[in-house]
A = this chain, B = another copy of it.
Amino acid sequence: MSDLTGGAVEEALADARRKYRNWGRWGPDDALGTLNYIDDAKRGAAAALARTGRAFSLAVELGRTGPGSGHRGSGNPVHTMLDSGVEGVAGVEGVAGVAGIAGAQGYPHGFGDVDDVVFMPLRSGTHWDGLGHVFDNALGWNGRRRAEVVTAAGDRVTGAERQAAGFVSRGVLLDVGRAAGGGSLRDGHAITEDQLRATIRAQGPSAQVVRGDIVLVRTGQLARCRGIGDWAGFASGPAPGLSFASLAWLHGSEIAAIATDTFAVEVRPHEFDAPCVSPLHQIAIPNIGLFLGEMFDLEALAADCAADGVYEFLLIAAGLPIAGGVGLPVNPIAIK
C-alpha cells in the first residue's frame, strides 16, 4: 500500500474519519452500531440458509494453553474446581490405604456434585470487541466521550448486555488463505479490498456480501500457530490481516460485523511508516460502529465450504451478556 506507507498517519486517519463515520445514523443512544443493519427480514432469510442442519462451533477452547496474550495483565482463562470428583470417589469407595479422607461430601443417598469457577480476561478466547473497547481521540461510538462510556463499572452505554440478541444474521466465509493458494497467508500480509473481491469471485455466488452480513475472513494463521503449538507470535507478533485501506469496503458494504481467525483482525505490523496503534480498530470501532471478532476458529467450517462450494450460512454469535463488558466471549455457531 504505497499510498499508505508513504503517507502521513494523521492525514489517513482524518480522511477515514471524514468518510466512514456513522455517528448519529441510528440515534444518539444507539448501542448496536452496524448490528442495526440486521432486521427480522435479514434474520429470516439467513435462517433459510440452514438447509442441511450441519452445525459448526467457531470457538477456540478456553484453556490454560490457549492463545491469550499477556497484554496488560491479560492471559488465558484460569479455570479451577471448587471441588472435584476424585475426593468423592475416595470418600465413597476409599482410596487404597487411606481411611475416610475428608473430601467425601457426605450427602445422603449417594448424591454428589462439583462446581467450578473461571478467571477470564474477556478477550482471551473467541470474542467480539465491544463498541467501548477502542476510542478515537477520547471519543467513542456515536461521538460520546470516554468518560461517559467506560467507568470502573464497565461500559455504561454500549456494554455487552445491549447486544444480547444482536449477532444473528447471514454469515459469509471469505477464505482468503485458501483462495490465495497456500492455505495460510504469511504474517504481515495485508488483505486489501481487491483481494476480498477476488476471493468472492473465486468462491462464487454464495460468497456475495450484502448489507447486514457477518463476514468471516479466514487467513489460516490460527490453524498454523495451533499446528506448531506456538501462540507467542499469534498474540503479539506479525500477523496477516485486513489492510487499513479495506476500511472503505468495511464501511461501504454495510456489513454488520467482521471476524477473523487472528488475534487482532487487522494486519500487523500496521502499514504506516510512523508510530501508530491499531489504526483499523481506531476507525472501525468508534467511527463506523463496526463489531470486530477475533480468534474465530474457521477450520472445520472452511473445509465444509470448500467441499460443497457453499460459503453462506446462518450464523448465531451471541456473546455472553456480562453487564458493562467491553469484550464479548462467544461460541459462534454456523448452520448450513
B107 touches A277 (CB 8 A): yes
- Size bracket of the A interface: 35 or more
A57 touches B95 (CB 8 A): no
Q: Which segment of A128-136, A189-197, A213-221 sits at the interface?
A: A128-136
Q: Which segment of A18-26, A119-127, A233-241 sits at the interface?
A: A119-127
CB contact between A95 and one of B56, B96, B164 (< 8 Å): that residue: B96
The digit string for A94-137, where 1 denotes a CB below 8 A from any CB of B, is: 11111001110001111111111111111100000000111111
A83 touches B146 (CB 8 A): no
Cβ of A92 under 8 Å from chain B: yes
A88 touches B282 (CB 8 A): no
CB contact between A112 and one of B44, B135, B161, B319 (< 8 Å): that residue: B135
A333 touches B116 (CB 8 A): no
Known contacts A94-B96, A318-B333; is-contact A327 B85 (Cβ 8 Å): no
Known contacts A73-B64, A75-B75; is-contact A85 B164 (Cβ 8 Å): no
A109 touches B282 (CB 8 A): yes
Closest Cβ of chain B: how far from A124's Cβ, in Å? 9
Closest Cβ of chain B: how far from A290's Cβ, in Å? 15
Q: How far is the CA of A121 from the CA of B262 in the complex (A)?
A: 28
* Residues of chain B with a CB closer than 8 A to A50's CB: 43-44, 47-48, 50, 314
* Residues of chain B with a CB closer than 8 A to A84's CB: 84, 86-87, 150-152
B95 touches A86 (CB 8 A): yes
Known contacts A85-B147, A152-B82; is-contact A282 B111 (Cβ 8 Å): yes
B59 touches A132 (CB 8 A): no
Q: How far is the CA of A286 from the CA of B14 in the complex (A)?
A: 45
Known contacts A52-B40, A96-B93, A331-B321; is-contact A101 B151 (Cβ 8 Å): yes
* Residues of chain B with a CB closer than 8 A to A318's CB: 57, 59, 316, 331-333
Residue on B with the closest CB to A122? B116
B56 touches A148 (CB 8 A): no
Residue on B with the closest CB to A133? B113
Closest Cβ of chain B: how far from A82's Cβ, in Å? 5
Known contacts A165-B333, A320-B59; is-contact A80 B117 (Cβ 8 Å): yes
Closest 8 A/B residue pairs (Cβ):
A44-B53, A43-B53, A85-B146, A110-B137, A47-B50, A85-B150, A63-B323, A80-B80
Q: A73-B76, A103-B151, A118-B325 are in contact. List 7 more A-B contacts (CB 8 A).
A: A40-B53, A63-B322, A88-B138, A95-B147, A112-B136, A116-B327, A316-B333
